Structure 1
Amino acid sequence: MTTTVCLTFDFDGVAIWLSTFKQVSPTPLSRGEYGANVGMPRLLDVLKRREVPATFFVPAHTATSYPDLVKQVVTDGHEVACHGFLHESPVNLELAEERELLAKSIKVLQDVTGVRPQGYRSPAWDLSPNTIPLLEEFELRYDSSMMSNDFELFYARTGDVLTEEGFKKGPESSVVEFPVAWELDDYPYFQFMVKPMNTGNRLPSDVYKYWAAEFDAARAQNGVFTLTCHPEIIGRGPRIKMLEELIEYMQSFDDVVFSTMINAVPLINK
């Protein structure tokens, strides 16, 4: 039995400031630039040095803004997957608009990298009622946006019905879900900004202890450990050092393998 580690990175670039945060003055945008100019090279260097593959969720806007970096991700043996067109939330999108943005995102990523993406992560870690059916329509094989498990893959459902009288589950789709958790995301621990207010200023050593404990729990049940980080956040010096130490710790076990998400999809059938 083995434990699978899926290291994932949301390379938002400057798209998140234009769409989600709606702050386009020079200083906010420079935080997105930091992720591309400093965070990504450091991150790719660590992954190459530790010889581990990873999955990068990339908005189409980031791929067209930083094509050489996104190409380098694929050249280095990592996976590039969809993360919206402009890091937009799908929750309030009409079906036609969500379909169009997904189609455009897939095309842009394929045009830039030469590889058609096979996975998706919502920029908001939230989905519309149409998202999973659209992923099926475009033959994407997995999603990584939901939280109803911790270390076990499952098939995303469609058509759930929630009323005051009760909760009725819909049928399973063909889309494999890699569950996520805010506890396994660098954003709440480290992101500090005034609008919107985020006050994360945790010590990397404290976060290391928490993530290592979560990994130990995943290993105890031979599960899939999914970590979510952002180059502009994890890329700062003490944090990237902590991430490499965590990778080194996980590599110390003979029953642990590192995988891109697309290569881990078959684990659901084992």
Structure 2
Amino acid sequence: MTTVCLTFDFDAVSLWIGTMKQTTATPLSRGEFGALVGLPRVLDLLVEKDVSATFFVPAHSAGAFPDAAKGIRDQGHEIGLHGYCHETPIGLTREQEADLLDRSIEKMRFILGNDYLPKGYRSPAWDLSADSIELLEERGLLYDSSLMGDDYRPYRAHKRYTADETHYHRGEASRVVEIPVAWELDDFPHFVFLNKPMYLGMRTPTEVFELWKEEFDFCHSLGNGVFTLTMHPQVIGRGPRIAMLSRLIDYMRSQPEVQFVTMGEVAVDQSNRLEVK
């Protein structure tokens, strides 16, 4: 059985404020497009296809667009953590990173309700510190989706790694399931144009459809892989791109032995399968 996880990073304006350090009107309007135009298109498509997805939501996005965050929840989709204001944990002390994680959870519960219990985390910009996995483990999160140590097979994320010019130690396996990601399967580098930092983007939906189809076909040939797409409402939500995603979902669903599930469901299943070595 091939498992497909459709995931969406609902960055809204936090991407531009936190990561890009841009607070002028035009970049912020790109985030507004994601919240006010792109996200409704994504949610409508998921209803049409009867697919449950996973959304990674910065606490800032939930606070800036609470109705949008609640709309994701009310449609029954999973909502994972994605930083406070889309900031990287690199360079933070363990205490600072822990504080950001706790503040994120607290704000998400304020917006979504005290019964909100996140199962998973995705680091903004897909970067983790040497403390990140252990901090997630301490808070009872089941999975992370930020690393690239495999392509289609979940594995146990490692904690307490060390690395320098003369030494590398992978660390020890944690209880956190890693559901790996890949830049090839992210809409941002394919479509987004930025001059600082440089993203050329501007690929056509047809090109990306073929790339993602070929990646899916290889995953499907394995018989038991997990195919994870990472998308952003402000990117995939443009008209021709959401139409491309619709075609891709139809193609994947037409293949035998394919299921669409949330990352939380994958994590629960894999927690029962993967040993902590």
2: CA distance, partners of 1:131 / 1:170:
13
1: CA distance, partners of 2:57 / 2:164:
35
Q: Paired residue for 1:239, among 238, 241, 247? A: 241
TM alignment of 1:1-270, pairs within 5 A: 2-114=1-113, 115-221=116-222, 222-268=224-270, 269-270=272-273
Contact 2:131 2:160 in 1 (8 A): no
Contact 1:9 1:231 in 2 (8 A): yes
In the TM superposition, residue 119 of structure 1 has moved relative to its aligned partner by: 0.6
Q: How many residues align?
A: 269
Contact 2:142 2:268 in 1 (8 A): no
Q: Alpha-carbon deviations, 1:181-226, whole Å to 9, x = none? A: 0000001100012222211000100100010111111111120000
Residue 240 of structure 1 aligns with an amino acid whose one-letter code is I
In the TM superposition, residue 75 of structure 1 has moved relative to its aligned partner by: 1.0
2: CA distance, partners of 1:91 / 1:85:
14
2: CA distance, partners of 1:187 / 1:9:
11
In the TM superposition, residue 117 of structure 1 has moved relative to its aligned partner by: 1.2
Contact 1:84 1:123 in 2 (8 A): yes
Give 3-state SS (helix, strand or coil) of 1:19's partner.
Answer: helix
Structure 1: gaps of 5 or more residues: none
Residue 260 of structure 1 aligns with an amino acid whose one-letter code is T
Contact 1:109 1:117 in 2 (8 A): no
Q: Give the structure-2-normalised TM-score.
A: 0.94
Give 3-state SS (helix, strand or coil) of 1:150's partner.
Answer: coil
Q: Give the structure-1-normalised TM-score.
A: 0.97
Higher mean C-alpha displacement, 59-68 vs 260-269:
260-269
Contact 1:192 1:201 in 2 (8 A): yes
Q: Alpha-carbon deviations, 1:50-70, whole Å to 9, x = none? A: 000100000000001111111
Residue 81 of structure 1 aligns with an amino acid whose one-letter code is G
Contact 1:109 1:116 in 2 (8 A): no
Q: Alpha-carbon deviations, 1:221-260, whole Å to 9, x = none? A: 1200000000000000000000011011111123111111
Give 3-state SS (helix, strand or coil) of 1:40's partner.
Answer: helix
2: CA distance, partners of 1:145 / 1:7:
15
Give 3-state SS (helix, strand or coil) of 2:147's partner.
Answer: coil
2: CA distance, partners of 1:76 / 1:9:
14
Residue 90 of structure 1 aligns with an amino acid whose one-letter code is P
Contact 2:2 2:258 in 1 (8 A): yes
Runs of 4+ in 1 over 4 A off after TM superposition: none
Higher mean C-alpha displacement, 162-171 vs 173-182:
162-171
In the TM superposition, residue 166 of structure 1 has moved relative to its aligned partner by: 4.0
2: CA distance, partners of 1:163 / 1:57:
31
In the TM superposition, residue 262 of structure 1 has moved relative to its aligned partner by: 0.6
% of aligned pairs identical? Answer: 52
Residue 259 of structure 1 aligns with an amino acid whose one-letter code is V
Structure 2: gaps of 5 or more residues: none
Contact 2:130 2:162 in 1 (8 A): no
2: CA distance, partners of 1:5 / 1:169:
28
